[in-house]
Amino acid sequence: MNWSAQMIAADKDFNGAPLFRKQVSVSRDHGAATEATLKVSALGVVEPWINGERVSEDLLTPGWSSYEWRLRYATYDVLHLIEPTTVIGLALGNGWYRGRLGWSGESAIYGSELATIAQLDLTFADGTTQTIITDDTWTAGPSATTANDLYDGQTIDAHLYSDAWLQPEFPGDGWSGVHRLDFERDMLTPYTSPPVRRWQSLKPQSITTSPSGKTLVDFGQNLVGWIRVQVKGPAGTTVTIRHAEVLEHGELGVRPLRTALATDSYLLSGNDDIFEPTFTFHGFRYAEITGWPGELDAESLLAVAISSDLRATGTFHTSNSLLNKFHDNVIWGMRGNFVDVPTDCPQRDERLGWTGDIAAFAPTAAFLYDVEAFLAEWLKNLAAEQSHHDGIIAYVIPDVLKYIGVPAVISPVESTAVWSDAGVWVPWALYQAYGNPEILAAQFDSMSAHVRHVESLLSPTGLWDTGFQFGDWLDPDAPPENPAKAKADTGVVATACAYRSASLVAQAASILGKDAERKEFTALAGRLRAAFNEHYVDQGRVLSDCTTVYALAIVFGLLDRADQDAAGNRLAQLVEQAQYRISTGFAGTPFITDALTITGHLEDAYKLLLEEGCPSWLYPVTMGATTVWERWDSMLPDGTINLGQMTSFNHYALGAVADWLHRVVGGISALAPGYAELLIAPQPGGGLTDVETSLETRHGRVAVHWFISGDNLKVQTDIPEGVGAILRLPGQSDQPLKPGRTTTTVLTHAFA
């Protein structure tokens, strides 16, 4: 669009939460207004108002992008709000732009001054237009928010609240002028991803007193958002709410928050006050409340969960209640960490867009929700960062580590397996889920630049065995203080991942008609595969002989048939020796059940899936988890918190096994990108007797319901019109499925 508006900042800081105001007269000489469009953005976060009404339910606009090169703006139809005298109000907070980011304690990483830009375009009945812009005629003043930070929380003083600033003829006492900032409007880009909004609310499940006498509120679910408070008490009373995910020894478990205060404070006016801190968010299930006037009533509190506004597409339910709860936990963990950016965790002093997490989880995310636009937006930031970093895909996107540095356990940022591979694996997962080659076209330069950079890092042997690697991060056998010290050889992991990325880029080149690049990356993949087998494989044994290296080698297709069979047998043996408890970290976990399935060890995969001892997928469920944890043992069996300094109770990455649940247990797979053709192939096992799975594809709804009744396996399928589908059941030949509902029955002894 054509911007004439200016980026403006307040002449005073106003506690990092300034209000901006402009009163205008709407033309009356050209008939009624027929169109009214407001475009708005900020260096910070902004909430727009017109004539006393909130313009939208969107939160934390314009979100978090790579602000050095990209700043999104939101567009709203505001015709219903326009009056002859119109007051435009913009409320700002620190957000990601000026708030704390990362563990260094630093704030204002991108800039020290909050600012906003807005443009209201009006069209009248006769075609005449009127434009109102932010410029130096606006005024700015204080809000009721006296402190705000995404990590630390928000403080609101009800004495200071008034909506007079949104009304005509506001006197503006205590207000100041504004000034223009030097800002490149070419950086402005429209929102293409969903905004952040409220998506659920939960009432307290219990209110108790801790051993130390503190009031604790349990909302029954680990969520991301805040608590909406209704309270009346003596003027000047301060109510303080501190948030955490778990309890330890009956008290609020705040150690995993590290330096994040996660505390909201409210100063009461003496009247009926309602507080909702929309310039922060917390990861929490529990809240510690101090200063409450009188007896705390559960009706006074409401936990508000926020997330990017994603449309649910996939469902999964079984006869196993623990497995169902685990799947629910995967969903809650995803929603809480998909707040504009796919982050690792939502609670501590981190909350960064770690690339390794989404590299592992993208296929699961794309089944559960329509994340095409959400992740495409994140990939734009990835490409922008990469293009300014010599082809290197950073550990986090947007990349704040280039400003705050990295922990001592991690080397300076260089391409690293799985994490940097997100630049290839995520767009490929989106293409497979939605069938739109435009994502490959948009990201191809980024995908190819990553693989070419990795090629430059290969040693003379053709292996990626030099430099820092996260490797099989958070291997459960690694010491808590050194999560990179995994069993899997880092060169094996990295070379396997390099092969997968080169192969995928070659396929993307073929789809896009880029023949030269197809040949280039096909040849590179061949060289990587040959080097892997020459240096790492000996008669089916893979160097470092642990579950992760076998899982990657099998699923990525690095082995010939004889070696793959031997590797599968060895993998099954290792899984059994571990008593079906998890022995993989970030690299191996998304692939181990597939590796077992591919090589004929389905029951071992089910035993691994359904194990309840620590470490396992279901162990946290038995401990009362309501989201997926960062560590397999974030909480120890005795109820104490893992001693590692990096312990989150809301990390989606290890929930990536849900992709296998949907395809192998549930039975829905794509034979063509976007599910244009379907493979319905449930593989019963693990004692499950009833499984229902469904998916809203771009072509319509697919559903599979299988259940065992006596000696019969019955499979009911729903196939959309115009979509070809194959039914593949154990011990049976493939058969085509017609659109609509079909029920097929086979004897269970055929696959026992």
Q: Please write the tens of the pLDDT for every residue from 322-331.
A: 999 999 999 9
Strand 338-339 relative to strand 341-342, pairing: antiparallel
> Angle at Cα 313 formed by Cα 311 and Cα 317, nearest 5°?
130
Distances (CA, A) of 17 to 278, 284, 629: 12, 24, 34
- What's the confidence (pLDDT) of residue 496? 98
Classify residue 62 as left (phi > 0), alpha (psi -120 to 50) or beta: alpha
Over the stretch 414-427, which tens digit does the pLDDT of each residue have?
A: 999 999 999 999 99
Q: Which residues of 98-115 are buried (b: 16+ CB within 10 A; e: fewer)?
A: bbbbbbbeebebbeeebb
Over the stretch 429-458, which tens digit does the pLDDT of each residue have?
A: 999 999 999 999 999 999 999 999 999 999
| Cβ atoms 544, 487 nearer than 8 A | yes
Q: Which residues make beta-bridge pairs with 507? A: none
Nearest to 264 by CA among 144, 163, 344: 144
How far is C-alpha 199 from the geometric centre of its chain's CA atoms?
Answer: 15
Axis-axis angle for helices 355-368, 422-434 (nearest 10)? 10
Tokens 């580590």, located at residue: 401
- What's the confidence (pLDDT) of residue 107? 96
- What's the confidence (pLDDT) of residue 22? 97
The average confidence (pLDDT) of the chain is: 96
Over the stretch 452-491, which tens digit does the pLDDT of each residue have?
A: 999 999 999 999 999 999 999 999 999 888 888 999 999 9
- What's the confidence (pLDDT) of residue 1? 66
Give dist(CA 181, CA 20) in Å, integer: 15
Over the stretch 675-733, which tens digit does the pLDDT of each residue have?
A: 999 999 999 999 999 999 999 999 999 999 999 999 999 999 999 999 999 999 999 99
- What's the confidence (pLDDT) of residue 28? 86
Distances (CA, A) of 680 to 407, 488, 752: 46, 34, 19
On the question of pLDDT at 408 being above 80, the answer is no
On the question of pLDDT at 751 being above 70, the answer is no
Non-local (6+) Cβ contacts of 717 within 8 A are 680, 702, 703, 704, 705, 725, 727, 737, 741, 742, 743, 744
Share of the chain above pLDDT 70, in %: 99
Non-local (6+) Cβ contacts of 391 within 8 A are 415, 449, 450, 452, 453
Strand 238-244 relative to strand 215-231, pairing: unpaired
The whole-number average pLDDT for the span 588-600 is 98
Over the stretch 621-674, which tens digit does the pLDDT of each residue have?
A: 999 999 999 999 999 999 999 988 889 999 999 999 999 999 999 999 999 999
- What's the confidence (pLDDT) of residue 644? 82
Per-residue pLDDT band for 366 (boundaries 50, 70, 90) equals very high
The sign of the torsion formed by the CA atoms of 681, 694, 316, 661 equals: positive
- What's the confidence (pLDDT) of residue 410? 78
Which residues form the catalytic set?
350, 630
Over the stretch 501-552, which tens digit does the pLDDT of each residue have?
A: 999 999 999 999 999 999 999 999 999 999 999 999 999 999 999 999 999 9
The whole-number average pLDDT for the span 23-52 is 95
Radius of gyration of the chain from its Cα atoms, rounded to whole angstroms: 27
Per-residue pLDDT band for 406 (boundaries 50, 70, 90) equals confident
On the question of pLDDT at 750 being above 70, the answer is no
On the question of pLDDT at 398 being above 70, the answer is yes
